[in-house]
Structure 1
Amino acid sequence: MFNNIKAVLFDLDGTLVDSMWMWKDIDIQFLNKYGIEYPEGLQESIEGMSFSETAEYFKSRFQLMESLEQIKEEWNKMAWHRYTNQVPLKEGALELLQYLKENNIKAGIATSNSRELVNLIVQQLGLESYFGSIRTSCEVEKGKPSPDIYLLVAKDLGVKPEQCLVFEDVLPGVMAGKNAGAKVCAVYDAYSAKDTDVKKEAADYYINSFFELPVF
């Protein structure tokens, strides 16, 4: 799996950290403030979108008067305590990062989350020294499944996309990595368990835990 791999690129939520469980609750609470009932299937509709694209979607679909910046600021506030106190690393993630560092394999984060929240969780978990690039999809033209974010992180690291291994937990992320020309390993997460079969089909590899990787 790691033969000829010069960089490993990680999605954040649901891949490196266990946080996908909380976003539906945040969306329910957020919409409730406007007297709007949470529509089933909303999470699937926004899967892979950048933080900014998601705000645009909410503003348009639910006819919100707030600006995009106000919507994103509210989400950051609602998620802040959870990211500070309730979001752990996925099993084996730290050990994998240590392995990559010890073996001079570059690492980067390509996330759909906000800059504020990714900075918070990386600092909270003490991960700064492991990554040569941390980018959000708000910094590129299109979110996942477009390859833009993974192409940007690979460029930051000075590595060709085909020399990268991507870890992703949701199908749009898997497709973003594949569309960038990288090898992709899909990662189990309870949130996307229903999509296990399609993720296995789309990705080059599939793991339930980082401890299943051949480096351990």
Structure 2
Amino acid sequence: MLNNIKAVLFDLDGTLIDSMSVWKSIDIEFLADYGLELPNDLQSSIEGMSFTETAFYFKERFHFKESIEEIKSIWNKMAYEEYTTTVQLKDGVVSFLQYLKENNIKTGISTSNSIELVKGVLNAKRISHFFDTVLTACEVNAGKPSPDIYLKTAERLNVKPTECLVFEDIPMGILAGKNANMKVCTIYDDFSKNQDSKKRELADYYINTFYEVLEGTYEVLINE
């Protein structure tokens, strides 16, 4: 999987950390404050959107009077404690990051989340030093499945897209990596288990934990 790879790029939520369930709870609580229920199609509607794009979507769909920045601020405050005290790393993350560091393979985070929450969880888990760069989708023109965030991360790391390996947990993220002409490994996440067949269709590799990369027991989905 790592042959000829000079940089490994990671999504954050559902990929490096088990945090997707946090957002469903936040969405339910946030909407309840306005007397609204969580629509069944909400998650599929916002999949891949940047933090800012999601705030725009909420404001337009639910006709909130708050500004985009106010909505984002509320979400950051609601999620910060969970991200810094409760959310856990995926199995094997630290061992894999140590391996990449020892083998001089560059690393980057390419996430749809807010920079405040990214920094909060990386510092809380003491893994920020493993990453050469962190980029949020709010810093590029379009969120996933647009390739923008992955292309920009590769540019920052001074590597070609074809020299990058992406780790993602949802179809829109996998498509973003593939649209950037990068190899993509998808990881099992309980939150997206109903999308597993689609994830397998789109990705090059599949893992349940990062230990499988180190052990060479990952699943190859497309012939190399």
Name the CA shift for 1:181/1:205 in 2 (closer, same or farther; >3 Å): same
Instruction: Map 1:195-206 onto structure 2 (within 5 A).
Output: 195-206=195-206
Which residue in the other structure is 1:14 paired with?
Answer: 14
Q: Distance in 2 between matches of 1:54 and 1:203?
A: 25
Cα deviation for residue 22 of structure 1 reads: 1.0
Mapped to 1, the partners of 2:21 and 2:167 lie a distance apart of 19
Q: Which residue of 2 aligns with 1:92?
A: 92
CA–CA distance in 1 between the matches of 2:32 and 2:80? 19
Task: Tell me if the contact between 2:16 and 2:90 (Cα under 8 Å) persists in the aligned partners.
Answer: yes
Counterpart-to-counterpart distance in 2, 1:202 and 1:37:
32
CA–CA distance in 2 between the matches of 1:168 and 1:186?
Answer: 5
**Structure 2 residue matching 1:213: 3-state secondary structure:** helix
The correspondence of residues 55-74 of structure 1 with structure 2, limited to 5 A, is 55-74=55-74
Alignment partners' CA distance in 2, 1:67 and 1:215: 48
1:104 is the counterpart of 2:87: no
Displacement of 1:101 in angstroms is 0.1
SS at match of 2:15: coil
- Within 1, Cα distance between the matches of 2:214 and 2:72? 39
Q: What secondary structure does 1:185 align onto?
A: strand
* 2:76 match: 76
Q: What is aligned with 2:182?
A: 182
Superposed displacement of residue 130, structure 1: 0.8
Report if the CA contact (8 A) 2:92-2:210 is conserved: yes
User: Alpha-carbon deviation of 1:44?
Assistant: 1.2
Partner Cα distance (1:215, 1:180) in 2: 27
CA distance in 1: counterparts of 2:38 and 2:87, whole angstroms = 24
- Displacement after TM superposition at 1:215 (Å): 4.8
How many Å apart are 1:88 and its aligned residue?
Answer: 1.0
Which residue pairs with 1:34 in the alignment?
A: 34
Rounded to whole Å, the distance in 1 between the matches of 2:39 and 2:214 is 41
Paired position in structure 2 for 1:159: 159
Q: Counterpart in 2 of 1:169?
A: 169
Q: Compare 127-136 and 63-72 and name the one that shifted more.
A: 127-136
- Please give the secondary structure, in 1, of the residue aligned with 2:17: coil
Give the secondary structure class of the aligned counterpart of 1:107. Answer: strand
Which residue in 1 is equivalent to 2:134? 134
1:55 maps to a residue whose letter is A
User: How many residue pairs are counted as aligned between the two chains?
Assistant: 216
* Aligned-partner Cα distance in 2 for 1:84–1:6: 30
Runs of 4 or more consecutive aligned structure 1 residues displaced over 4 Å after TM superposition: none
Give aligned-pair identity as a percent.
59
Q: What letter corresponds to residue 129 of structure 2 in structure 1?
A: S
Offset of residue 97 of structure 1 = 0.2
Q: CA contact under 8 A between 2:96 and 2:214: conserved in structure 1?
A: no
Q: TM-score, normalised by structure 1?
A: 0.98
